[in-house]
Amino acid sequence: MKNGITGVVLAGGRGQRMGGVDKGLQDLDGRPLVQWVLTRLSPQVDSVLINANQNLARYAELGCTVLPDSIPDFAGPLAGLHAALSRATTPLLLTVPCDSPFLPGDLAQRLRDALEAQGAELAVARTGDQVHRAFCLTRRGILPKLEAFLASGERKVGLWHASLKLAEVAFDDEADAFSNINTLEDLATARSSR
């Protein structure tokens, strides 16, 4: 085990803000967004899982294990986290969204340093006043707490984070790394700026 971290790319959404298309598979300079994310994430972790609920075969072509949600009806990023925590064997799990192709190359290390220094259950990235909840490092042992939270019908990531011992990690020096591509207009802007 290199660093005891499993990475998971969250690609399980419906892509509603992008017109219902699968965001992770949208092309940016000849490569799908998810491939950009994998290029940045893979060197930081022992292995990578992809949480997806559609186009599973296309995601599997990227060489990663693909996990659909076990909770029905596109329950959101916490359902993806649940699927990954249920499958991971490392002590830590790092989540990143499929629509942030320029994530920091030192994301895992900085989140881990804070997690350990503060004895936290979960460490999350922040730039300025904005918390980037999909960029988080969590301990695998929180799975029972997450299962109880989801079983209660809750789905809000912020509410889930508030229930844990949380470390927020400032990435103000890399704020642009958290830019995400949510709409077709965002995608067009990213293409034209490259």
Q: Are the C-beta atoms of 48 and 60 separated by less than 8 Å? A: no
32-91 pLDDT per residue, tens: 999 999 999 999 999 999 999 889 999 999 999 999 988 766 667 888 889 999 999 999
pLDDT at 9: 95
pLDDT in tens, 116-129: 999 999 999 999 99
pLDDT over 90 percentage in the chain: 62
pLDDT in tens, 140-192: 999 999 999 988 888 898 899 999 999 999 999 998 888 877 766 666 666 65
Percent of the chain scoring above 70 in pLDDT: 85
Q: What is the mean pLDDT of the chain?
A: 88
The tokens for 53 are: 């609920």
CB 33 within 8 A of CB 181: yes
> Alpha-carbon torsion 109, 112, 114, 117, what sign?
negative
For position 1, what pLDDT does the model report?
45
Q: How many C-beta atoms surround the C-beta of residue 162 within 10 A?
A: 9
Output phi, psi for 146, to 5 deg: -65, -40
Q: Which domain holds residue 25?
A: 5-192
Q: How many CB atoms lie within 10 A of CB 61?
A: 11
The CATH number given to whatever domain includes residue 134 is 3.90.550.10
DSSP state for residue 17 in the 8-state scheme: G
Number of domain units in the chain: 1
Contact 144, 137 (CB under 8 A): no
